[in-house]
Amino acid sequence: MDFASLKRNKMDMEALILAHNMFDYFHMLNGPKYVNLVKDFWVKAEIYDKESARTEEEQAVSRNPSLKGKSREEMGLEPFRGLEIRSAVIGIPIAITEEVIARACRVAPEGRFLWNVGKKDALLDSYNNLLLKGNPAAKLVDMDDKDRMLLKFVNDCFFHKGGGSDQPSLDHKLVLYFLAAYQDINLPRYLMHHPCRAIKEGIKGKRKQVPCARLLYEIFFQGGLLKTLDKFNLISDRVLGIATGKMINGKTMQHMKIIKKFSPNKKDLKESSVSSGLMRDFPSITKEDNPEVLTGYLAAYAKESDDSSQRAAVALARKQKVAKSEATNYDSVQKVAKSEAINYDSVAASNPKRKRGK
């Protein structure tokens, strides 16, 4: 995010973002992300909530009926700390909570939060009055330029819609309304619930895009995961796929047709691959910190990766063998067909047609 570039092109968003105490969050987004590391986390991600905890307790009682009525601790289970996103990265178990997200995005978990809003919610009228000038049928392009840019922030920096329609959901409309009306939102809670929804959609096959990739990288970095991987010589930009996101700046305004032409400036920010400074007392995200156990996780992951690579190599070899066999058969057929054609031409040449009357 390049607020200075936006300001040089007559779009001052900095004051609004400072009023919401989100400047540090947007500054954090300018850093890098390890694409493959994030994908590894995402494909195994699952939601651990009250229902999951209750199922866990029921299974414990099913195995040992004497545990009925006991506390989680007495059942030998971890205390339920609230909603978590659980997964594993290169074999290491990871758990992300709202507290972790709040620390990573440098925003206090305070402010308004509404989720699964109904179509008749009264606040949607407030959204229409403030942002659509009282006309629910108005198009997004008819909004004030500043509100359109704010919607760009919501789509790209909070909920990472990526491609498709810019039309916000009902939940996102209220986020846009709260921000435009200078009402603080609980950004960490939104950033917790949005990936949870995305995980559920992914299970149903409705979503393939990975949201909050830059935030996940920051959590891995601040939570010490990258430091752990580095100890085992598993950090490599080439292997883990370092990347940076697109910068929102004056050029973005040109793409949005807010300005006709963008003139680059030597002060414009460039995408950065430099990580943020380490934060003190960042909450733990790994479920295990015993070096021997971690070594076991990483060894199991390495073996699984080798096995997967070998299976992939065998599958590729089989495909190549089948393709080569089909190509050989095709060449043989072509040669037979060509030979038959030559024989036919020879016969035709040796038996010319007689002319009529002779």
Predicted local confidence at residue 51, as pLDDT: 92
User: Which tokens belong to 268?
Assistant: 């414009």
**Token pair in block for residue 294:** 């971690």
Of 289, 308, 335, which one is at a domain's C-terminal end? 289
Q: Is residue 145 part of a domain?
A: no
> Distance (Å, rounded) from C-alpha 201 to C-alpha 334?
50
- What share of the chain in percent tops pLDDT 70? 74
Model confidence over 175-199: pLDDT tens digits? 999 999 999 999 999 999 988 888 8
Are both 71 and 217 inside the same structural domain? yes
What is the H or E stretch that residue 244 is in? strand 242-244
Q: How far is 167 from 176, CA to CA, in rounded Å?
A: 12
pLDDT of residue 313: 47
CA distances to 17, 22, 54, 73, 248 from 65, in Å: 55, 50, 15, 16, 58
> What value does the CA radius of gyration of the chain take, rounded to a whole number of Å?
30
Q: Are residue 198 and residue 272 in the same domain, yes or no?
A: yes
How many Cβ atoms are within 10 Å of 6's Cβ, its own excluded?
20
Locate 154 and state its tokens.
Answer: 């919501």
Query: pLDDT for 200-220, tens place per residue?
Result: 877 666 556 677 888 998 998
Tens-place pLDDT, residues 11-40: 999 999 999 999 999 999 988 888 888 888
Residue 10 belongs to a domain = yes
**Do residues 98 and 191 share a domain?**
yes
Q: Which of 270, 289, 308 is the last residue of a domain?
A: 289
User: Which of 240, 267, 289 is a domain's end point?
Assistant: 289
Give pLDDT, residue 90.
79
Compute the Cα dihedral for 27, 152, 107, 190 and give only its sign.
negative
Over pLDDT 90: what percentage of the chain? Answer: 41
Contact 87, 94 (CB under 8 A): yes
Whether residue 166 lies inside any domain: the answer is no
Report the range out of 19-23, 167-171, 223-227, 230-234 with the highest average pLDDT.
Answer: 19-23
Residues 92 and 216 occupy one common structural domain = yes
Task: Determine the structural domain holding residue 335 and report its residue range.
Answer: 291-351
String of DSSP letters for 34-93: EHHHHHHHHHT-EEE-HHHHHHHHHHHHHH-GGGTT--TTTTT-----S-EEEEEETTEE
Establish if 159 belongs to a structural domain.
Answer: no
Least-confidence region, from 33-47, 71-85, 149-163: 149-163
Does residue 152 lie in a domain region?
no
Nearest to 16 by CA among 256, 182, 249: 182
- 92 and 57 in a common domain: yes
Query: Shortest CA distance to 158 belongs to which of 313, 339, 26?
Result: 26
Judge whether 1 and 248 are in contact, CB under 8 Å: yes
- pLDDT of residue 159 exceeding 60, the answer is yes
- Residues 339 and 327: their CA atoms lie apart, in Å, by 18
Encode 16-48 in three state secondary structure.
HHHHCCCHHHHHHCCCEEEHHHHHHHHHCCEEE
Residues 171 and 185: their CA atoms lie apart, in Å, by 12
Q: Are residues 227 and 347 in the same domain?
A: no
Predicted local confidence at residue 38, as pLDDT? 87
- 280 with 306, same domain? no
**Mean pLDDT, all residues of the chain:** 81
Residue 131, in any domain of the structure? no
Position 169 in a domain: no
Regarding whether 305 and 284 lie in a shared domain, the answer is no
Q: At residue 325, what is the residue type? A: S
The answer as to whether 13 is a domain residue is yes
pLDDT of amino acid 312: 46
Give pLDDT tens digits for 263-276.
888 998 887 766 77
Same domain, 9 and 53: yes
Name the residue among 168, 268, 273, 165 with its Cα closest to residue 214.
Answer: 273
Whether residue 204 sits in one domain with residue 80:
yes
The verdict on 16 and 73 lying in the same domain is yes
Q: How many domains does the chain have?
A: 2
* DSSP state string for 130-157: HHSTT-TT--GGGS-HHHHHHHHHIIII
283 plus 319 within the same structural domain? no
Which tokens belong to 207?
A: 């979503």
Nearest to 158 by CA among 33, 277, 4, 22: 22
